[in-house]
Amino acid sequence: MTDIQSLINQERISLTNFNNIDNDNIDIKKTYFRYLINLPIQEVDKIVVNLVSTYQNELRHLRFGDIIPNITNSLTESIPSPESIKNERWEFGGYINGTECNLNSKGKNGMIKDFILTPRNINFHTHPPYNGRWPFAPPSEVDISSLIEKQREYTERIYNAVATAEGIYIYYLHNDFNLTEDNAILFDVEYKELKNSLGYDSGSGTKLFDGGSTFESPEKVNTSDRIIALNSIKQPEISLNAFLTFLKSKGIIIDLLSYSFIGGSRTYPISYYL
């Protein structure tokens, strides 16, 4: 039987190999989100933070398919092995409320189909275990675009959490965020481009824009088959703090809680593109 804690420890060690960058004042390209108004930065609702932090250890283990106490499993099918979860990029999803953390969805290849976002709970999902190329995993453009689409249906705020190797990101939209369909289409492309500035493997991938330096996500690889040298990872052009601060100013609120969260949050350098 696979020792889940050993896998978690391996991820923790891997994260320490990436250099931090201290330039939080870098000038973000003016073309990013040019159609959005500047909004004041807000902190995540403390009630939501406390609820998510209650299940931080459970969500960390769930990334490997390890269902430990305090998670209610509503899945009728079996959980894949940790090796399958890594190699086939399984994700798990469900809801957190005031009484339980309920697992009810899963999907492979980094996607959970037909998962319904609701404002009545904290919607959570996991990102697959670190596979040797991208040790950090903020919400993807699909995560955020799905949130924009669903938020159009509700006046109540939709809170979301995604468990990754480095911690749990809590994300939602500011009340004044532009929810129009045209805005969402533009956002999907520009969020992806901005996120690429955080770092990715520069040795593969295809150009997203002719004549530019932005790349699509490189090909996914299996942990057991290939762990590339750390120096082949492209160093980030911006820090995670700059990334999160800029997004908050545009109405996309994302905060990262470390797994050792005690009354505060911690942010990390980033070199990941999903």
Q: What is the pTM of this model?
A: 0.82
Average pLDDT by stretches of 10, the chain with 274 residues: 80 68 59 71 82 95 95 95 90 95 94 92 93 72 92 95 93 90 78 74 38 40 44 63 84 88 41 28
Q: Are 265 and 255 in contact (CB under 8 A)?
A: yes
b (16+ CB within 10 A) / e for 209-240: eeeeebbebbeebebeeeeeeeeebbebebbb
Strand 71-73 relative to strand 101-107, pairing: parallel
Q: How many C-beta atoms surround the C-beta of residue 246 within 10 A?
A: 18
**Strand partners for 256:** 169
For 84-119, the DSSP string reads HHHHTT-EEEEEE-SS-EEEEEEESTT--TTPPP-T
Provide the pLDDT for residue 135: 58
Q: What single-letter DSSP state applies at residue 34?
A: T
Q: Are 150 and 117 in contact (CB under 8 A)?
A: yes
Report d(CA 38, CA 263) in Å as an integer. Answer: 28
What pLDDT is attached to residue 95? Answer: 98
Q: What is the CA radius of gyration of the chain?
A: 18
Q: DSSP state, 270?
A: -
Could you give the strand order of the β-sheet that contains 122-126, starting from the edge strand earlier in sequence? 71-73, 101-107, 91-96, 122-126, 159-163, 168-173, 252-257
Q: Note the pLDDT of residue 178.
A: 85
Q: According to the model, what pLDDT value does residue 203 have?
A: 42
The pLDDT of residue 196 is 74
Residue 71: the pLDDT is 97
pLDDT of residue 3: 85
Do residues 53 and 90 touch, judged by C-beta distance below 8 A? no
Query: In whole angstroms, what is the distance from residue 258 CA to residue 236 CA?
Result: 20
User: pLDDT tens for residues 162-178?
Assistant: 999 889 999 999 988 88
* Spatial contact of 264 and 222, defined as CB atoms under 8 Å apart: no
Per-residue DSSP letters for 130-183?
P-SS----PPPHHHHHHHHHHHTT-SS--EEEEE-SS-EEEEEE-TT----HHH
Eight-class DSSP state of 126 = E
Whole-number Å distance between alpha carbons of 88 and 110: 8
Token pair recorded at residue 150: 């669903």
Looking at residue 43, its amino acid is E
Residue 193 is predicted with a pLDDT of 78
